[in-house]
Amino acid sequence: MNIQLPPPPPPPNGAVLTLLAALSNHSPSSSHGANSNHQQALQARDDALSSSPDAYGDLCCNFVRVLACPSPALLPQNELKKFHDGDLEMFMQVCGWMMMDSNSTTNGDMAAGALNNNSSMEAKKQQGMMLWNTFRQMSGLLLKNALVSPPLPKNVPLDALGRVLPGHRSRMELPPNYATEIKHGLLTCITDMESSVRNAASTAIARCCTAAVHLEKSLGMFSVGNWNELIPFILQCIVAGNEAAASTTTSTSTTSSSEEEQTKAKAESAAMGALITLRKLLEDIPNRLVKESPSSSFHELVPALLKSLQSPSDQHRREALACLNSFISPMPGSFVANMNEYLGGLSALANDPSVEVRQLVCQGIVSLLSMRAEYVQPHFASISEFMLRATSDSDASVALEACEFWLTFASLDEEACTSDMMEIMVQLFLQLLPLLLSRMVYPSDKIEELMEANAFEESGSNSDQDRAQDLAPVFHKSRTKGQNDDDDSEDDDDDDDDLDDDNEWTLRKCSAASLDALAGIFGANNILPPLLPALQEGLGHTDQWVREASILALGAIADGCKVELTPHLPQLHPFLLTQLTSPESIPQLRCIAAWTLARYASWTADQLHNAHQGGDPSLVGQVAEALVSHMLDSHKKVQIATCSAMGVFVEAVGELITPYLEPIYKIFAQALPNYGTRSRLVLLDTLSLMAEYVGPAIGEGSLPGMYIPPLLRLWNDIASHNPFDRSLLPLMECLGSTCVTCGLNYQPWALETFELCMSTIEACTIMISHEDDLGDIDEDMTDPIICSIDLIDGLVEGMGSNFAALVNGSSRFGPTFPNVLLSVAGHFVPGVRMSAFALVGDLARQAPSLIEAGLTQILSEAVSSIDPMHTAMCNNAIWAVGEVCVRCGDNSGPLQPHASDLVASLIPLLMGNAVDVDGNEISLSGIKENAATTMGRLANVNANFVAPELGRFLTGWCDGMSKISDTNERHDAFRGFVAALRANPHSIQRTEVDVGDAITSILFAIVSWHIPQSEIPSNLLNGPYKFEVFPSKFPELLASLRQLLQDLKTSSGEVWLQIEKHMPPNVQRLMKEVYYI
């Protein structure tokens, strides 16, 4: 049971205690005030950390010494005096109980130890020790931050984007001797009797081991592979805890010595600290931990953790099971070897009295099913029966974890999900599906809460303004150009975001999602028979809350059972409209009816298409009218639900809604000034969807005059009070979508929109300039500037070549526009630059006169922004330079000063060897394709800009060109490549690969012109011939590629013959039929 601790660290010095006292932000006796003292302490900390490696190490060591020191009574007298002299008030609060008498401080007598036995002195000691433990916890946090974010050396030179200039040391490195003491101190601290200290130490260990993966130079000594004592020590502590627990449960003695009890308590604390540390490590770096830990100790961890599942302590069982669950993903051999014992442990804990343990049992089973289903397959019948019972657990948190099982099952691939498992699931549906339906009903406490909220709104007490807690954060998604222009992979499917009052993942939501997913997998034939009786009963139920849940279920099965439900929809559709429009319906029922109507929007559209076959062509109008009429509902949730449903409905019906646009937009205009913030945000999103899916019809006739002026008035009103108001962001995004869709029909409001954008940029820039520390400025603060730039870009797209006249027509901002463009292109926040370069590229296309005067500076900023550390900015800068190249034609003058730097910036992106500040390789989606396009466009201006260095990046350029999806950009890239290769034909012999591989890379790039988008390239090499023809709109390029291949064949001789010999049959046919080779 005894634990072999590392050598204890020495006590901390008094200076670090004084620093901690100031950082704790108490009210010191200093006349400068708390804030001034705190700021000075922050500066002192930063100065010490960044002045030298030794100063950095010394301060970190003193942090760990405070963390490891259980009592100030252990401090030497001279260090106590430093603390006393540095901050008398805090010294008395922390150490006053140690003084021999009340006059000892005044007299300077620092003798510590003798304590008064009266109750007031005991209370003073307790207060002092609480503060001391707060110091220790703070030290752990400061230590962790200092280690995982090593400071930059003092006065290191940075560029405008905060990057270390080349040739200068980037991060402070910890000398090895300091690292050793820190590691020993942290291990000691996870055994501490104080839980806050154990937690602080465990977090520091886990974060240091995690950060060491990417910070090898500064934190390499903290990697699991270089910390040999870490896992053996954790194991030792867990085993000691198991022994202590065993001695407690097996002991027959009714009495035990205080020393034995103390030993057990220490072992239990050490085990708890070790378990928490291991859990955090497994959460952060499970694969590293498995790979780099000493094998002998690591193999013993799983048996030790399984033993801990039998602990009488709920906390020990909980942490041990959390650790075991985390082994599922990396699946080390020791875990596989003990799989039966693990499954047995889960079974033994299935009815554990601890709710948290039962939650973890369900989590473990779900994780096993999700990641390693082969271990669940043999036991699936019994496991699914258990999870069915757990889904009925009286504790909603346990039921939620169990419900995840059904959702996870529906996401399994065919290999993981066997036919036997599918059959077992079908057999469970008679019990499971009604259970899921019942768990969709709001729980009683939530119903009570919602009823109170309903009554509050109906009383008229509710204002138009939303509470802060009701508003989700607003984020702006800026425009990315080039190969990522249409990438919406980060968009969330938020159809059901507003079904509940918050964004918490609940049992109700999980049950609905599970039913949705299972319906998609098993289809109506398996889902409807066991579900329909309960569903029909619920739809006709007199309790509106039960009816609401049943309508939710009806919406949930829409995708999986729509065809089979079609015969029922002529009856269900009027029922849903009635639930939405009835004055007797509770707000939640109206909300869910609107959502479900939107889920069946495609059926509604089909009725119009199939009018000649008996379909009802009026349904689109009926649904649209019902939804928009309730957008003026007095209840905010109904406003939000109907707005959101209208957006989903428009996505499905598209232009079919055109005949009803006038009444719809009248309601929109009416709602805009009357909505609270949250409702307005959803309405603005719906307006954007109208622009995207209805198309130019929203800009015809009198329609724009209905809704654009109210949008601009709203912008003026909000911005006049606060230009940083984040509700402006979706408003500007909405206007951006609108002006692009309306095109020239937006012209009557274009000037006002432009000037509002420029005013916002001006106001925000002035306010930001008054910030004391520009380092505190983040992209949230500059989002209004970014959004304004994006909206101006939308005006450029909508107005086309007329945009230049628009700018020149602004007496206030026309003359300053070029300078503003230069300032945002060189802004210190990368997000601003990103949007600025999107605008620059579109201006080069549509209104080049506006960038001519500042083109040299713009290009200089663009080249310096080709930084892979900021992906989106880098992408847009590359794209913008490419568009400038297109506009330059064969005029190489503007590009001449920047060409060599541009090529040097593009080469690492093409060759895939871009690295971050710590030397780690960066993988960037889409950047390589954009770099290939811009390199080609630069070569089209002047091949000699590119040709001299071509050998360095020829293969990377070919690879990038082969991935370009836009045919026009692909054309420009290949045309430039051919020109560069003709200007430097010998470059093919100077690549990083041999001549044969270089020619092969060129061949593959050319073949990529013929690969259908739906096909995998490797599938086309043999078998049926599926290559596409070369695009007919590029005959000159095809002729150039034919000639290039002929020249390569002639010049390479034997090399070509070898390539041809290994060429797949379909490629040989392509070469012969298209390129005459």
pLDDT band at 158 (very low <50, low <70, confident <90, very high): low
Residue 6 placed within a domain: yes
Q: Which tokens belong to 184? A: 């020993």
Mean pLDDT across the stretch 891-902?
95
More confident residue, 470 or 165: 165
Residue 398 has pLDDT above 90, yes or no: yes
C-alpha span between 398 and 121 (Å, rounded):
47
Cβ neighbours of 1068 (radius 10 Å): 12
Contact predicate 863/881, CB 8 Å:
yes
DSSP 608-652: HHTGGGT--TTHHHHHHHHHHHGGG-SSHHHHHHHHHHHHHHHHH
More confident residue, 331 or 472: 331
Nearest to 274 by CA among 363, 186, 207: 186
Residue 171 has pLDDT above 80, yes or no: no
3-class state of residue 915 by DSSP? strand
Question: Can you give the pLDDT at residue 121?
Answer: 75
For residue 57, the one-letter residue type is G
pLDDT tens across 242-277, in order?
Answer: 999 888 765 555 555 678 888 899 999 999 999 999
3-class state of residue 70 by DSSP? coil
Residue 756 has pLDDT above 60, yes or no: yes
Question: Can you give the pLDDT at residue 296?
Answer: 86
Q: Is the dihedral of CA 564, 569, 571, 573 positive or negative?
A: positive
Helices 967-983 and 871-888 meet at what angle, rounded to 10?
70
Nearest to 37 by CA among 110, 95, 86, 93: 86
Q: Which of 323, 349, 375 is the last residue of a domain?
A: 349
3-class state of residue 727 by DSSP? coil
Question: Can you give the pLDDT at residue 159?
Answer: 60
Are residues 291 and 238 located together in one domain of the fold? yes
Are residues 209 and 71 located together in one domain of the fold? yes
pLDDT tens across 106-145, in order?
Answer: 444 444 444 445 567 788 888 999 999 999 999 999 999 9
Question: Can you give the pLDDT at residue 261?
Answer: 86
Q: Which of 324, 349, 374 is the last residue of a domain?
A: 349
pLDDT band at 371 (very low <50, low <70, confident <90, very high): very high
Nearest to 42 by CA among 114, 145, 190, 195: 145
Nearest to 292 by CA among 186, 211, 372, 209: 209
Residue 544 placed within a domain: no
Nearest to 330 by CA among 361, 358, 302: 302
Query: Which residues have a Cβ under 8 Å from the Cβ of 784 and sit 6 or more positions away?
Result: 723, 724, 728, 729, 760, 761, 764
Are residues 992 and 1014 located together in one domain of the fold? yes
Q: Please, how many CA atoms are within 13 Å of residue 714, restricted to the half-sphere of its CB?
A: 27
More confident residue, 67 or 24: 67
pLDDT tens across 314-349, in order?
Answer: 999 999 999 999 999 999 999 999 999 999 999 999
> Residue by residue, what is the 3-state secondary structure of 1053-1072?
CHHHHHHHHCCCHHHHHHHH
C-alpha span between 470 and 375 (Å, rounded):
43
Given phi > 0 = left and psi -120 to 50 = alpha, else beta, which region is 1074? alpha
Are residues 207 and 297 located together in one domain of the fold? no
Residue 1043 has pLDDT above 90, yes or no: yes
Residue 910 placed within a domain: no
Are residues 181 and 53 located together in one domain of the fold? yes
Q: Is the dihedral of CA 852, 854, 860, 865 positive or negative?
A: negative
Question: Whole-number mean pLDDT of the chain?
Answer: 88
Residue 1015 has pLDDT above 80, yes or no: no
Residue 191 has pLDDT above 60, yes or no: yes
Are residues 234 and 186 located together in one domain of the fold? no
DSSP 466-483: PPGGGPPPP-------GG
Q: Which tokens belong to 214? A: 């990417």
Residue 32 placed within a domain: yes
Are residues 70 and 187 located together in one domain of the fold? yes
Residue 650 placed within a domain: no
C-alpha span between 649 and 605 (Å, rounded):
9
Query: Which residues have a Cβ under 8 Å from the Cβ of 579 and sit 6 or more positions away?
Result: 547, 551, 585, 589, 590, 592, 593
For residue 332, the one-letter residue type is P
Contact predicate 818/850, CB 8 Å:
yes
3-class state of residue 805 by DSSP? helix
Contact predicate 728/719, CB 8 Å:
yes
Nearest to 834 by CA among 794, 796, 878, 804: 878
Query: Which residues have a Cβ under 8 Å from the Cβ of 454 and sit 6 or more positions away?
Result: 586, 587, 635
Mean pLDDT across the stretch 711-728?
90
Question: Can you give the pLDDT at residue 1016?
Answer: 67
Residue 104 has pLDDT above 50, yes or no: no
Q: Is the dihedral of CA 147, 149, 151, 157 positive or negative?
A: positive
Query: Which residues have a Cβ under 8 Å from the Cβ of 713 and sit 6 or more positions away?
Result: 673
Residue 781 placed within a domain: no
Given phi > 0 = left and psi -120 to 50 = alpha, else beta, which region is 931? alpha
Phi and psi torsions of 164, nearest 5°: -70, 130
Residue 984 placed within a domain: yes
Q: Which of 317, 349, 381 is the last residue of a domain?
A: 349
C-alpha span between 558 and 516 (Å, rounded):
8
Query: Which residues have a Cβ under 8 Å from the Cβ of 955 and sit 6 or more positions away?
Result: 911, 991, 992, 993, 997, 998, 1001
Q: Which of 152-156, 311-315, 500-504, 646-650 has the lowest mean pLDDT?
A: 500-504
Are residues 1014 and 1062 located together in one domain of the fold? yes
Nearest to 739 by CA among 786, 703, 699, 693: 699
Are residues 87 and 206 located together in one domain of the fold? yes
Q: Which tokens belong to 538? A: 């619920």
Residue 494 has pLDDT above 50, yes or no: no
Query: Which residues have a Cβ under 8 Å from the Cβ of 971 and sit 6 or more positions away?
Result: 1031, 1034, 1037
Cross-strand pairs, 158: 164
Are residues 209 and 275 located together in one domain of the fold? no
Contact predicate 823/780, CB 8 Å:
no
pLDDT tens across 443-458, in order?
Answer: 999 999 999 999 988 7
Mean pLDDT across the stretch 353-377?
97
Whats the size of the chain, residue-wise? 1077
C-alpha span between 152 and 135 (Å, rounded):
26
Question: Can you give the pLDDT at residue 934?
Answer: 98
For residue 563, the one-letter residue type is V
Instruction: Report how many domains make up the chain.
Output: 3
Q: How far apart are the first and last CA of the chain?
A: 80
Q: Residue 854 burial by CB count (10 A; 0-12/13-18/19+): exposed, middle or buried? A: middle
Residue 528 has pLDDT above 80, yes or no: yes
Which residue range is the domain that position 1024 belongs to? 950-1075
Q: Which tokens belong to 490? A: 């980060």
Are residues 62 and 202 located together in one domain of the fold? yes
Cβ neighbours of 160 (radius 10 Å): 13
Question: Can you give the pLDDT at residue 143?
Answer: 96
Cross-strand pairs, 164: 158
For residue 55, the one-letter residue type is A
Residue 876 has pLDDT above 60, yes or no: yes
Are residues 1048 and 1003 located together in one domain of the fold? yes
Q: Which of 200-214, 651-665, 775-789 has the lowest mean pLDDT?
A: 775-789
Question: Can you give the pLDDT at residue 607?
Answer: 84
3-class state of residue 831 by DSSP? helix
Contact predicate 771/830, CB 8 Å:
no
Residue 93 placed within a domain: yes
Nearest to 603 by CA among 549, 643, 558, 553: 558
| Residue owning tokens 């378990």 | 275
C-alpha span between 829 and 832 (Å, rounded):
6
